[in-house]
Structure 1
Amino acid sequence: MAGQISLDSIDIYDPELYVKGLPHDQFAVLRTEAPVFRHPDFEQPNGFWSVTRHADVTFVSRNPEIFSSYRQTCFLNEQTPTSLAEQQMMMVNLDPPDHTRLRSLLNRGFTPRSAARMAEKIEQACEIIVDKALATGSGDFVTMCAAELPLVVIAELMGVPNADRYKIFEWSNRMLSADDPELAPAPDEGMQAAVEAYAYANELGAAKRACPVDDIVSRLVVPDENGRELSELEFDLFFILLIVAGNETTRNAISGGMQAMIENPDQWERLRADPAGLARKAADEMVRWVSPVMAFRRTATRDVELGGQLIRENDKILMYYTAANFDETVFENPHTFDVGRDPNPHVGFGGGGPHFCLGRHLALLEIEIMYRTLARRVARVEATAAPRRLRSNFINGIKEMQVRLVPA
């Protein structure tokens, strides 16, 4: 595989490439021949450094003092000065110590214990979702199963009225689909969605401050025992981050996981034979296999050597989680989808360090319970058309996947 593609023909930045699927052939060449590679970039005269090996992605992730999220944000594309200043206020784009302070406030809503408290609600939601899907019999798996669960969970978590959860779906779609003309018909659609979500968050936060109840929003906007709370702006920006990160990533892991199951029916049968024992490992493997967020950006704060290359201060670096999650030196048979894979040190939730995914416990719980429910109640899932993929170099997403569900 590695010998057939020359480095000067590599282009893993083009969103059009991902409509067909992940460019595993190009990633393999990069990991082998140029793990830290100066990649052309139409927005940057000096290009950017693509980082594709697991060890290097982990090193960049765990050294925020050298590789900053704040300088140019974690997003792949270049920003205008105005949008850069706005994006830099979001937690995902902060560096320590600002990131540390904000994350310590948010942590209280996202502990393993608080995720476990949601288990019963998630189980109820999965039963209802699978009931409806089986009653329908066939249709788009994304809308029938994958999209619904994270919306229910976010609505429950944030105390959002159930009727408003589809607004979350629509906002996150519009914010993340700028490269897909079908989902973002107007250039300013993403910005408009962010404005609408921001206004909604502001009203939600104000209502919870005035009348706190037992939900995460109230815990974040009301002072804790040390008198700490999120400011109005911090909460509004966190809400936007949550509806994107908590919705898109889990939805795409569930959808991409089902595509992997359809293509590997032996793994579906393994899961059906032992859902209690395998569903958690299967959930982890789906996150590795799909890598819902394919890449994040960092900016060098000083000259540094990485993978044998000298990276200069202010150089643009993209960590390719999709490539690192198939690193042959870390994963045995990485291109085999294995619902029992253990250990599974994937970087689908980030490579460690301060930005390691805040909601990973909840995301894995959602995927695990959804697949435990499906494995118990569905004999098999058959594709009735080829899946339609998102045009994006950032989110590994399936827009539509027509299937037939055969009840157990």
Structure 2
Amino acid sequence: MAPQISLDSIDVYDPEVYVAGVPHEQFAVLRAQSPVFHHPDHEQPRGFWTVTRHADVTFVSRNPEIFSSHRQTCFLNEQTPQSLAEQQLMMVNMDPPDHTRLRGLLNRGFTPRSAARLAGKIEAACDVIVDKALATGSGDFVTMCAAELPLVVIAELMGVPHEDRYKLFEWSNRMLAADDPDLSPAPDEGVVAAAEAYAYANELGRTKRACPVDDIVSKLVTPDENGLELTELEFDLFFILLIVAGNETTRNAISGGMQALIDNPEQWERLRADPARMARRAADEMVRWVSPVMAFRRTATRDVELGGQLIRENDKVLMYYTSANFDDEVFENPHAFDIGRDPNPHVGFGGGGPHFCLGRHLALLEIEIMYRALARRVAQVVPTAEPRRLRSNFINGVKEMQVRLVPAD
């Protein structure tokens, strides 16, 4: 019988905890006993509040006037004064009305219709990716399939030369892997990567301003019908955000989804039996199950009561999507991976409100089309080694997943 987990032994902040997998047992204890829990902080003495229930995560997400993204950014770790000032310029770290203005400019490139226009190119990309993977036969599923698709799509979306797509992969890895020595061996590796991406974005924006073409970059850096456009700085920062958000999250949903299918072979057979009908719901379930971004931070702008606790102004508040997505008050049998789950009101793209994921339609489309292609062409995915997980308390990621692909008849 497993030992009881006491509240005073809870630690869902240490990145090392996540190397073995998401600590679902700890989150279950928090949801049941202390859904808004004052947690010790490894970086500062004041501690922070963990918000673990679906309803509370949604409340925090939808009330930016009480829970600010701007005051101390949305990122979990503490910032230096210089870093804070720089990070606050990014859309993800803005509050309304600044966030509203910037998001309004960006929305034109990320509507469902815009995503649907890319469907044919995503299908063609998936065919090529699966062809190559089957020809190779065995290898790392992350690099063969999961990482390749979002890189191709971002390059297409942004008008980035195809041969430059691996730069995006490298930059995003280095920027987000500060806690993983395999991917970020030097302490300032993320800062260096961000500077390289920033310089690349600046040159890309300059090129598109001079010679606009039919891609999203040209739309964003040239005036719309109302004369509105992104400034040079706004575009450069958005580019950095996009290569991280559009790459890391989709990649980890695809790879984590495959791990879930390997662990639940009956769901793989269910998908293979009817990929055209099941792949979209499977994509949604993969996002719920994986919760690629496990948590975001907010800062209280005033004293407020939440979950029976008094949160003081300027307190650090962490919303744990990876806990909310397993809340049994919302999801029936949440620890069952069910590709037909319906309804599926997960918060894998955020809990609503102004920061609800801009690229969610495109992400779901990518996952859906990739799994349609895999289900039609691959009979079985056989693991050949234990997967290696990212050491991170922020991104739920698989660094490496060695598999053998058995082609369908």
Q: Which TM-score band (shorter chain)?
A: over 0.9
Aligned alpha-carbon RMSD (Å): 0.9
Matches within 5 A, 1:364-375: 364-375=364-375
Task: Give the match for residue 273 of structure 2.
Answer: 273
- Note the alpha carbon deviations across 1:175-232, whole angstroms, 9 max, x for none: 0000001110101110000000000000000000000000000000000000000000
Task: Give the match for residue 4 of structure 1.
Answer: 4
Superposed displacement of residue 45, structure 1 = 1.2
Task: Give the match for residue 187 of structure 1.
Answer: 187
Aligned residues: 408
Alpha-carbon distance in 1 for matches of 2:182, 2:365: 31
Superposed displacement of residue 400, structure 1 = 0.1
Alpha-carbon distance in 1 for matches of 2:181, 2:366: 30
Unaligned runs of 5+ in 2: none
Task: Give the match for residue 76 of structure 1.
Answer: 76
Superposed displacement of residue 113, structure 1 = 0.1
TM-score by length of 1: 0.99
Task: Give the match for residue 207 of structure 1.
Answer: 207
- 2:126 pairs with 1:103: no
Alpha-carbon distance in 1 for matches of 2:305, 2:32: 18
Alpha-carbon distance in 1 for matches of 2:390, 2:304: 35
2:239 is aligned with what amino acid? F
- 2:49 pairs with 1:57: no
Task: Give the match for residue 223 of structure 1.
Answer: 223
Alpha-carbon distance in 2 for matches of 1:356, 1:323: 18
Alpha-carbon distance in 2 for matches of 1:174, 1:116: 31
SS at the partner of 1:49? strand
2:45 is aligned with what amino acid? P
1:140 is aligned with what amino acid? D
Contact 1:30 1:37 in 2 (8 A): yes
- 2:352 pairs with 1:315: no
SS at the partner of 2:139? strand
Alpha-carbon distance in 2 for matches of 1:42, 1:219: 43
Which runs of structure 1 show a deviation greater than 4 angstroms over 4 or more consecutive aligned residues? none
Alpha-carbon distance in 2 for matches of 1:252, 1:176: 13
- 2:167 pairs with 1:170: no
Superposed displacement of residue 2, structure 1 = 10
Alpha-carbon distance in 2 for matches of 1:273, 1:134: 20
Task: Give the match for residue 349 of structure 1.
Answer: 349
Task: Give the match for residue 385 of structure 2.
Answer: 385
Contact 1:2 1:28 in 2 (8 A): no
Task: Give the match for residue 304 of structure 2.
Answer: 304
- 2:327 pairs with 1:327: yes
Task: Give the match for residue 91 of structure 1.
Answer: 91
- Note the alpha carbon deviations across 1:295-343, whole angstroms, 9 max, x for none: 0000000000000000000000000000000000000000000000000
- Per mean C-alpha deviation after superposition, the further-off stretch among 87-96 and 42-51 is 42-51
SS at the partner of 1:226? coil
- 2:400 pairs with 1:400: yes
Alpha-carbon distance in 1 for matches of 2:338, 2:3: 27
SS at the partner of 1:89? coil
SS at the partner of 1:160? coil
Contact 1:2 1:25 in 2 (8 A): no
Alpha-carbon distance in 2 for matches of 1:260, 1:383: 12
Contact 1:57 1:351 in 2 (8 A): yes
Superposed displacement of residue 158, structure 1 = 0.1
- 2:22 pairs with 1:37: no
Superposed displacement of residue 3, structure 1 = 8.1
Alpha-carbon distance in 2 for matches of 1:200, 1:384: 38
Task: Give the match for residue 15 of structure 2.
Answer: 15
Task: Give the match for residue 48 of structure 2.
Answer: 48
Unaligned runs of 5+ in 1: none
SS at the partner of 1:386? coil
- Note the alpha carbon deviations across 1:33-79, whole angstroms, 9 max, x for none: 00000000022212000000000000000000000000000000000
SS at the partner of 2:317? strand
Alpha-carbon distance in 2 for matches of 1:136, 1:398: 20
Alpha-carbon distance in 2 for matches of 1:282, 1:48: 34
SS at the partner of 2:375? helix
SS at the partner of 1:178? coil
Task: Give the match for residue 234 of structure 1.
Answer: 234
Alpha-carbon distance in 1 for matches of 2:393, 2:248: 14
Alpha-carbon distance in 2 for matches of 1:305, 1:205: 45
Alpha-carbon distance in 1 for matches of 2:386, 2:2: 28
Alpha-carbon distance in 2 for matches of 1:317, 1:285: 26
Alpha-carbon distance in 2 for matches of 1:42, 1:112: 41
- Note the alpha carbon deviations across 1:366-391, whole angstroms, 9 max, x for none: 00000000000000101011100000
TM-score by length of 2: 0.99
- Note the alpha carbon deviations across 1:233-268, whole angstroms, 9 max, x for none: 000000000000000000000000000000000000
